Amino acid sequence: MTSTSYIANNWYWMVAAGASGALLLWQQIKEGGTTGGLSPALAVQLINKERAQVIDVCEPAEFAAAHVAGAKNIPLGEIANGKGLPGNKKLPLVVVCAAGVRSAKAVTQLKAMGYENAQSLGGGLKAWREANLPIDKA
């Protein structure tokens, strides 16, 4: 059997595989998954197994409206001063904002400050909510 006849005889499997891959890619793009960062499931594992601290970099009013349960609010503009950050720079940090953009910026700042285990929650609070994970309100 030649490769040409294999493809001709199994074209429907090739189409199904291509369509499946395209749908997965579309879902990642639509949810902001291409910006990188932790998935909500991986964030929960870090929190539960490695005692990661959740840092929310939203403004106080946004934080009061809704935030990841147990998160500490340190707005993005205040990250550089280090106030409120854990003293142990080896502690894993899960950094959150509304959609993942500000948290990615905060992670860059945190890593420059020596917090090498800081990671952004991909998709931010929106992804956390979509995963039906606990939310607190002030």
Find the helix or strand (DSSP H, E) in which 120 lies: strand 118-120
What whole-number distance in Å separates Cα of residue 20 and Cα of residue 123? 22
Each residue of 82-114: pLDDT tens digit?
999 999 999 999 999 999 999 999 999 999 999
**Closest alpha carbon to 33 in 138, 126, 134:** 126
- Compute φ and ψ for 72, nearest 5 degrees: -110, 135
Taking 50 as the pLDDT cut, the residues of the chain under it are 31-34
pTM comes to 0.74
CATH number for the domain whose boundaries are 35-136: 3.40.250.10
Q: What gap in Å lies between CA 64 and CA 68, rounded to an integer? A: 11
**Structure tokens that stand for 28 in this block:** 């990642």
What's residue 76's pLDDT?
Answer: 96
pLDDT of residue 8: 77
